[in-house]
Structure 1
Amino acid sequence: MLRTMFILIALAHFLYGIYYDLSYVVFPKGFFSEASSNLGRWKFLTFWNMILQAVYFTVCLANDFLGSNEVNPKKVPFIRKLKDYMYCSVAFPVAMFVGLTFWGLMAIDRELVFPKALDPYFPGWLNHVMHTNIMIFTVIEMLVTFRQYPTRSKGLAGLTGFMCIYLVWTHVIYFKSGEWVYPVLDVLNWGQRVVFFVALLMLGNILYIAGEFLNNTVWAKELTARQGGSGRKKAH
């Protein structure tokens, strides 16, 4: 019951953030180029992540009622497999990636990622919903719900695929509008951008491995019991 309440709170939190951003955050005409403005929030990884987290916690809610949170069920329902894979491959690493890169760049020079000119139109609490709370909720979710990570190759394939799709999207936006989604890309030449993108992909992989390590540490006893149960089933 407590886990379900947490999931409902997290889901409501992300849905309200998305609703408020779409309904009440309005930038003055001419603030962005027309081509860039037409893409709305969909050009930002932060918004992609908000949608991702909302979808993930919806799957979590469905699993609570239709699936199973047991450590070692006789048959793992599809909704449980989907939930676990989503969390491991994208929900955790992307949430941490968005939060850490945003606040890291803010600490270096906020004009590179969130210029002061945005402050009158984008409330501070919504900024924390999108860039701080995402990390808090995803860590809590790891602590309250058991999961077994997939093979590393499968998990990293999902994460790398997601990040590459967004990377292609940023270039589509640039070639259509002449603007980079994030100001930091304006101060880099093409060689530096390639290095920057590779570094970001590596960071995503590191965060995946960190999530795997943290999960396996938190749930070490349960994972051992699950593996033991699987071994007995095979022997039987």
Structure 2
Amino acid sequence: MAPRHPLQRLASPSRQLSMLLHLAGVASFTASFNFLRTWDTPMSAAFGGNFQFLTIIGLALAQCTYAVGLLADVTLSSQLFGLKNVLSVCSAPLAILISILYWGLCAIDKSLVFPPDFQLDLLPDLGFHAAPALFLAIDLLFLSPPWTINGYSALALSESFGFLYWFWVEYCFSHNGWYPYPIMDILNTWQRAILFAGSAFLMTGSTVVLKWVYGKVNGIEQFQKEAMVDPAGIRAKKE
């Protein structure tokens, strides 16, 4: 097993706190997927199923990230630990983006994200739209080395993901005749393009915030400065 990175606050992979956190995250995400199997909606039976929703795609990425992290804890494998950190570069900012968009739109009008007949109770709502962001942020801040992605790469990754999801949503629309989120039915094509592009920039911004908070939590003043100058780029440094 590779030695702990000098800028990483807690030991990971490990069969102690790290394994307990990853086990709790996997249990939470699994419970959310189990809920989906019992939640009968027209969306789940349509083309694309529940994976039309950005929330479910983000949940699946969070599940993969934590499952790999848990395997790394059990096996003490540095290769699996490295893979978990690579997955986190996409899954953590995406989970935070989903939380910001969802709770922000709910504050305006919850019917923009869910039809009135299919509103979620509080516990599953938190499981889908808060737990992934919380678990992934904790993993990054306390159990991971700093990311090696720079600002331009983070923006390119976010934009690529945003427009790939837009293509997927439009492809599902061509089969189903409706969009997964009611707000998309309200917007025209250009407005949807602005929504997806803006979401991609917001995802990049969440990476900047994660970098700044990483520096704050771990007492690395240089990281806090870089977050304000070099968007999203956390370069691994050695003491």
| TM-score, length basis structure 2 | 0.78
Verify the 8 A CA contact 1:45 1:98 in the aligned structure 2. yes
Matched, 1:50 2:87: no
Alignment of structure 1 residues 59-208 onto 2, 5 Å? 59-67=68-76, 77-88=78-89, 90-119=90-119, 122-152=120-150, 153-208=152-207
Q: Alpha carbons of 1:104 and 1:228: their partners in 2 closer, same or farther (altered >3 Å)? A: closer
Q: 1:146 to 1:220 in 2, by over 3 A?
A: farther
Which position in structure 2 is the counterpart of 1:25?
Answer: 39
Match of 1:13 among 7, 28, 44: 28
The worse-fitting range, judged by mean Cα deviation, of 210-219 and 110-119 is 210-219
Taking a change above 3 Å as real, the CA distance of residues 64 and 223 of structure 1, as seen in their structure-2 partners, is: farther
CA distance in 2, matches of 1:108, 1:222: 37
Partners of 1:157 and 1:80 lie apart in 2 by 24
Name the amino acid aligned to 1:47.
Answer: I
Aligned in 2, Cα 1:123/1:146: closer, same or farther, shift over 3 Å?
same
CA displacement, residues 126-175 of structure 1 (integer Å, 9 cap, x when unaligned): 11100122222222223321312113144444444333322210111122
Matched length: 211
- Once the 2 structures are TM-superposed, how far is the Cα of residue 67 of structure 1 from its aligned partner? 4.3
More helix by share: 1
**Contact between 1:84 and 1:148, CA under 8 Å: does it hold in 2?**
no
Q: Name the larger-Rg structure.
A: 1
Percent identity between matched residues is: 23
8 Å CA contact 2:58, 2:94 repeated in 1: yes
- Evaluate the alpha carbon distance shift between residue 180 and residue 188 of structure 1 in structure 2; reply closer, same or farther with a 3 A threshold: same
Shift of 1:223: 9.2
Deviation at 1:222, TM superposition (A): 11
In the alignment, is the contact (CA less than 8 A) between 1:8 and 1:61 conserved in 2? yes
Residues 135 and 6 from structure 1, CA distance in 2 versus in 1: closer, same or farther, beyond 3 angstroms? same
The one-letter amino acid paired with 1:167 is W
Query: How far off its partner does 1:46 sit?
Result: 0.9
Q: In 2 relative to 1, CA 165–94 (structure 1 residues): closer, same or farther, beyond 3 Å?
A: same
Superposed CA deviations along residues 67-111 of structure 1, whole A, max 9, x for unmatched, are 46xxxxxxxx332222112112x1211110111101111111111
> How many Å apart are 1:11 and its aligned residue?
0.6
Post-superposition Cα deviations, 1:2-40, rounded to whole Å, max 9, x if no partner, equal 221111011111012112212x1113xxx56x9x72432
Q: 1:222 to 1:207 in 2, by over 3 A?
A: closer
Provide structure 2 residue ranges, at least 5 long, that are not aligned to the other structure: 1-15, 224-235
SS at 1:227 equivalent: coil
Amino acid at match of 1:3: S
8 Å CA contact retained: 2:158, 2:200 = no
The letter for the 2-side match of 1:58 is A
Task: Give distance in 2, aligned partners of 1:186 and 1:40.
Answer: 18
| Distance in 1, Cα, partners of 2:141 & 2:237 | 20
2:8 aligns with: none
Alpha carbons 1:43, 1:170 under 8 Å: kept: yes
